Amino acid sequence: MANTIYTARQPIFNRKQNVVAYELLFRDGPENIFPENVDATQATSRLLVRTHFSQGLEAITNNKPALINFSEKCILKELPLLLPKNKVVIEVLECVEPTGKILEMFKKLYHAGYHIALDDFVFDPDWQPFFKYVKLVKFDMQNTRIDTAQQHMEQIRRYSKNCRFLAEKVEDHLMFEQAEAAGFNFFQGYFFCKPEMYASNEIESNKRILIALYKELMREELNFLKITQYFEQDLNLSYKLLRFINSGLLPITQKMQSIRKAIVYLGENEMRRLIALLTTSVLSYDKPRELIRLATIRARFCELMVKRHTPQLKEHAFLAGLFSLLDAILDQPLEQILDNLPLSEEIVEALTTHHQTPIKIALTTIKLYEQGSWHLTTIEAMKLRFSYDDVCSCYKQAIDWMHNFESC
C-alpha cells in the first residue's frame, strides 16, 4: 500500500534574485501549514525519512542545497551525520541553547565538512564561540529592525569573515531593497515565493517489523542477522536502506548486491542511528510519542522485576512490557496482533490472560503504579516479594534507562 506524503519547499534567492537553495518544510497533509500536534524533532525525523530516504533530496531541490531544520535533540543525536554534507545546510532552530554539548557538535559537523546556519537569530553574546563554525545566519525581518540586523552582522563578522547573512520573511519590494542595502547576501519570503507543496507516494511500512527493529535497537549488541531478516521483509525499509547507502554520504567502492552486505557495511553506529530514525518517525506518526516511551519504560521495569524473582524469564518479561501497548500503537486488537508474532507462551499468557505468572504480576504492578494506585501496587508487588520502595527504585531505573537510550 502506498501513502501520499507532503513536503513544502521555499526557495532562497541571491542578490540577483536567482534561486540558490531551498528550505524544506514538514507538512502533514495538503494544507500548506505546519501541523500543531508535531514537535520539531518528530518533524525533522519524518522529513528526512520522506525526502532523503525516499526519492532523494535532489528530486525536490533540483540538485540545489537543502536547508533542513534541526532541534537540539536532533543535533545531539547526530542526525545531521546521516545526510550528505554537499547536499544540505544544517539549520539550527532558534530554540536551541548555546551549550557546551551543542558547541562540540558544531565543531564535529564543521570539521566533517557540513555547513551550519542559525535560524531566526537573535544576537546573544553566548553565541560568540559558535560563529567561527557558522556559514549562514538568518534574520527574521518581521521581528528585527534593519539597523539592528546591520549592527549584529558587523559583530558576527569580527569572529567569522566568511559568514553570510539571509533576510527571511521579506514580504514586499521595499523590504527587499532595504535588506539588500543593509548588506544581506540571500533573501527568502512571500515577496519572492510562498512555500511550494511537493506531493509524492511512499510505500507503507509494516509496523510490526518496525517494532521488532525497535526492540533490536535497544540491545547492547545488535543482532545483524535478525536486522537483515527484518529489512528483507519490508520493501519500504529495504528501499530506504539502499537509498541511504547510495546517497553519497559513504565512500562506496562497489555496488551493494544484498541487504545483508549493506547492513554489515554500515556498521553498528550508523545502523543504530538509521534504525532509530526510521522506527520513531513512522511509529510515532499520528500517535503520541509518549506511547513509545511508555512501552520502553514498561519493558525495562518488567525485566528488572522479574530478573530478581525468576531470572530465566527476564527476556520474556522485557518483551511483554514492550508489546503491552501494541494495540494502542497499531489500532488493532492485541490478540489479533499477537497471532502474527512468534512469541513464547509466557509472553502471550501475560498479555492476554489473568494467570498469576511472574511476568503478569510485574506487568500489572507497573500498570497500577502508572495509575497512581499506590495501595494496589504494593499488594501486587508483594506477590513477587517486592516492597513499594523496590517498585519505586525499579521504575526510576527504567526511566533513567529510557532516557539514556533516547540520548544514544
| Model confidence pLDDT, tens digit, residues 135-178 | 999 999 988 899 999 999 999 998 888 899 999 988 888 898 99
Q: How far is CA 271 from the centre of its chain?
A: 14
Confidence label for 31 from pLDDT (cuts 50, 70 and 90): low
Across the chain, what does the average pLDDT equal?
81
Q: How crowded is the C-beta side of 145, counted as CA atoms within 13 Å? A: 3
Helix axes 358-371, 388-406, angle to 10 degrees: 80
Rounded CA separation 403/397 (Å): 10
Taking residue 376's Cβ as centre, other Cβ atoms within 10 Å add up to 15
Residue 338 has a pLDDT of: 74
Written as nine digits, the cell of 200 is 509524492
Are the beta carbons of 340 and 350 closer than 8 angstroms? no
* Percent of the chain surpassing pLDDT 70: 78
Residue 131 has a pLDDT of: 94
Residue 250 has a pLDDT of: 60
More confident residue, 299 or 402: 299
Q: What angle do CA 308, 311, 313 make, to 5 degrees?
A: 120
Sign of the dihedral defined by the CA atoms of residues 322, 324, 330, 332, in that order:
positive
For 234, the 3-state DSSP assignment is coil
Q: Which residues pair with 10 in a beta bridge?
A: 23
pLDDT, tens digit, for every residue of 59-82? 778 889 989 889 898 899 888 888
Residue 408 has a pLDDT of: 45
Rounded CA separation 120/138 (Å): 5
Rounded CA separation 71/43 (Å): 10
Q: How far is CA 229 from CA 49, 61, 342, in A?
A: 21, 34, 14
Q: How far is CA 104 from the centre of its chain?
A: 20
pTM of the full predicted structure? 0.57
